[in-house]
Amino acid sequence: MQAFADSAGGAETAQTRVLYSRLSKAFALSWNSRNTRTTLIVALLLVSLVTAGLLTAQAYVAGWYQRAAAESVLRDYSSLVADEVIRRTSADVGYYGYYVLETAVLREAQRSAKLPADIADIKGAFASAQEPGLRNAARLAKSYFRIEPGKGGGLSFAGDAPPPRIAQWLQAQIAEMAASRRAGPFKKLTLVDQGSVHSFVVGSAQTPAGQEVFGGFETDMAALGAWMKTVLERQPLLPPTLGHGKVTNAMVQVSVRDPAGSQLVQLGAPVAGGLSATKAFGDTYQGIFSGYTVIAALDPQVGDAVIIGGLPRSRLPFFLGLLALNVALIVAAILQLRRETALQRLRDEFVASVSHELRTPLTQIRMFTETLLLERVRSDQEHRRSLEIIDREARRLGQLVENILQFSRSDRKVSSLVRTRRELAPLLAEIADDFAASLNGSPVQIEPRLAEGIAAEVDADAIRQIVLNLLDNGVKYGPNQQRILLGLEARDGKAVVFVEDEGPGIPVAERRRVFERFYRLKRDRESATAGTGIGLSVVRDLVLRHDGRCHVENGSGKGARFVVELPLAPSTPAAEGAR
C-alpha cells in the first residue's frame, strides 16, 4: 500500500509540479507587472504634484511681479504729486508772495532815508496798501529790516525782530553780500537755530543819494504754511486724466517739512511709508525753498482707479489651498492604490492557496481510486478504509468548492438562501454526526450539547456550511487530540450556536479581522497549515443573511469559542418566553 501510494504520489507530483511551476510563473509575471504599474502610477502622481507645485510657484512669482509693477506705478504717481507740490508752492509763493513783498520793501527802503523811524510803520502801511497783491503778500512777513552798509550803521527792524544773535548773523550775511556784490532781485537766507527756522528774504537797491541799501523781511513760518496749503488745495495735485477724474486731493497725502524737519503743511491723513515718495525742493525757483522736503503718497484705494484692473490682490492663499487639495488628493490616491495592491496580493495568495487546498484531496482521491482499480488492497478492511478516505476527501473538496462558490456569490451580491422554519437541534446533530464520520478514526471528539425546542428560520445548507467551516477550523487549528463542543442554546431571544475547541485561541486584537476576507493569522500564514482565509468570511456573510451576528471569544479552556446568534422563529417557546 505504501509502495503504491509512493508511486501514485510520484506520478501526481510530476503533474502537479508542472501545474505549480505554471502557476508560480503566472503569479510572478502578474506580480512584476503590477509592481511596475504601481511604480508608474506613483511616479505620475508625483509628477502631477511637482507640476502643481511649479504652477503655484509660477503664479506666486507672476503675482509678485504684477504687484511690484503696480506698486512702482503708484510710487511714480506719488512722485508726480511731490513734483507738483514743489512746482506749485515755489511758483506761487515766489511770484505772488516773496517777489511782490520784497519789491515793495526795497522801494520803501530806497525812499525813506531817515529810517529806521519810518520803516517802523511799514507793517501797517503794507497791510492797508492799495494793491491787493501787496496786502496779501504782506501776510508772509514777521518783521522787516533795513541796512545801509556804506553808512556803517546796524540793522534796523520793524515788527517782531529776531534775537540779537540771529540779527548779527543776518548782518554778517548781508555784509558778505555787499562785499561780493552779488546781483539779483533778492536772495533767501535760512538759519536753523535751536530747532526753529529763521528764513529771511534780502534784496538791495540804490538810495537817491547813491548809497547801496539792503532791505528785506523775515518769513512768518505759520503764514507760509497756510499760504502753501491754500495753494495746494486750490487744484487737484494729480492730472484729472489719470484717474478718470476720480482721484481728488482727498485721496492724496502730503507733508511738507521745513529745513528743521518740522511739518509745515499736511494734506490728508499722515503719510504712511510704503508707497510714498520723498523729494527735496532743491534749487527750484532760485532755491527759495532749498532745504525743504515734501513726502507724498496716494491712498491705496487710488490704485483701483489709476491702475488698469486695480491693485492685484495676493492670490497666494488660493494657490496654496489648491496645492494642499492636490496633495490631499494624491495622498488619497496613493492610499487607495496601496489598498488595491494589498487586496490584489491577498487575492493572489488566495488563488495559490486554493490550488494547494484542491491538490491535497485530489491527490488522495486519485491515489486510493487507483489502488482500488488495480485491486492492490490486501484485505476487506483496507478496501473499506480506502473508500472512507475517498469519501472524506470528496467531502472536503465539496466543502471547499461550496465555500468558493458562496464567496463568489457574496462577491456578486447574489442571494440564494431559502429560509424555512427548522428545529435546530436535529439539524446540528446530523451535521455533527456527518462531520464526526468524516474524521475517520481521528482522536478528535465532537461533543454536541444541543438544547431541544429551539427553532429558527434558516437555510439548512447554509447552516451546514457555517457549522462545518467552524468545526473544520477547530480540527485544523487545534491539537490532534481534543474535544470540540458544538453547542445550541436560547439566550436573550436568540438561538445561540457555538463551536468551542481546545486550540490556541485567537488574540483579542485579531478577533474582528479573522472574519475579513483572505485574512489569516500571522502564525498560520507562516506555518504549513493550509487555508484560504475565506472560511470565516463565508460564515459571517451567511450569518448576516440570516439577520444574525457572529463573533469569537475565549472558550472555557484556552481555545476559541465561535458564537453565531440567529433570530428565533416567532413561535419558538424560548422566543415566547423571552418576550
The residues that touch ligand ADP, with contacts defined as CB under 6 A, are: 473-474, 477, 501, 503-504, 506, 514, 519-521, 524, 531-537, 560
Shortest Å distance, C-beta 488 to ligand ADP: 18
Task: Give the amino acid at 152.
Answer: G
Polymer length of the chain:
579
Shortest Å distance, C-beta 25 to ligand ADP: 25
Residue from 197, 189, 221, 190 nearest 93 by CA: 221
Angle between helices 424-438 and 460-477 (to 10 degrees): 40
Q: Which CB sits closer to ligand ADP, 162 or 478? A: 478
Q: Cell numbers for 475, please give them.
A: 480540527
Q: What is the DSSP string of 179-193?
A: HHT--SS-EEEEEEE
CB 425 within 8 A of CB 490: no
| DSSP one-letter code for 97 | I
Q: Which CB sits closer to ligand ADP, 243 or 559? A: 559
Shortest Å distance, C-beta 532 to ligand ADP: 4
Q: Which residues contact 525 (CB under 8 A, 6 or more apart)?
A: none
Shortest Å distance, C-beta 18 to ligand ADP: 25
Torsion angle of the four alpha carbons 422, 428, 429, 434, in this order, in degrees rounded to the nearest 10: 120
Shortest Å distance, C-beta 481 to ligand ADP: 16
- Name the maximum alpha-carbon separation found in the chain: 169
Shortest Å distance, C-beta 30 to ligand ADP: 22
Phi and psi at 283, nearest 5°, equal: -100, 25
Q: Which CB sits closer to ligand ADP, 163 or 479? A: 479
Q: Which CB sits closer to ligand ADP, 220 or 472? A: 472
Q: Which CB sits closer to ligand ADP, 31 or 519? A: 519
Shortest Å distance, C-beta 411 to ligand ADP: 15
d(CA 294, CA 164): 31
| Pairing relationship of beta strands 483-491 and 445-450 according to DSSP bridges | parallel
Shortest Å distance, C-beta 521 to ligand ADP: 3
Q: Cell numbers for 217, please give them.
A: 523781511
Q: Which CB sits closer to ligand ADP, 27 or 519? A: 519
Shortest Å distance, C-beta 51 to ligand ADP: 45
Q: Which CB sits closer to ligand ADP, 258 or 357? A: 357
Q: Which CB sits closer to ligand ADP, 312 or 559? A: 559
d(CA 155, CA 145): 6
d(CA 533, CA 518): 4
Q: Which residues contact 487 (CB under 8 A, 6 or more apart)?
A: 448, 449, 450, 496, 497, 498, 499, 500
Q: Cell numbers for 573, please give them.
A: 417557546
Q: Which CB sits closer to ligand ADP, 215 or 474? A: 474
Shortest Å distance, C-beta 552 to ligand ADP: 8
Phi and psi at 310, nearest 5°, equal: 80, 170
What H or E segment, with its residue span, contains residue 109?
A: helix 99-111
Shortest Å distance, C-beta 438 to ligand ADP: 17
Q: Which CB sits closer to ligand ADP, 12 or 349? A: 349
Shortest Å distance, C-beta 474 to ligand ADP: 5
Helices then strands, each counted (H, E), the chain: 15, 16
Q: Which CB sits closer to ligand ADP, 538 or 569? A: 538
d(CA 217, CA 205): 15
Q: Cell numbers for 174, please give them.
A: 548781508
d(CA 179, CA 192): 24
CA atoms 189, 102, 98, 196: torsion sign: positive
Residue from 349, 398, 335, 341 nearest 517 by CA: 349
Q: What is the DSSP string of 395-444?
A: HHHHHHHHHHHHHHHHHTT------EEEEHHHHHHHHHHHHHHHTTT-S-
Q: Which CB sits closer to ligand ADP, 303 or 503? A: 503
Phi and psi at 479, nearest 5°, equal: -70, 165
Shortest Å distance, C-beta 492 to ligand ADP: 24
Select the residue whose beta carbon is closest to ligand ADP and give its number: 531
Residue from 163, 155, 136, 264 nearest 202 by CA: 155
Shortest Å distance, C-beta 407 to ligand ADP: 10
Q: Which CB sits closer to ligand ADP, 191 or 397? A: 397
Q: Which CB sits closer to ligand ADP, 212 or 524? A: 524
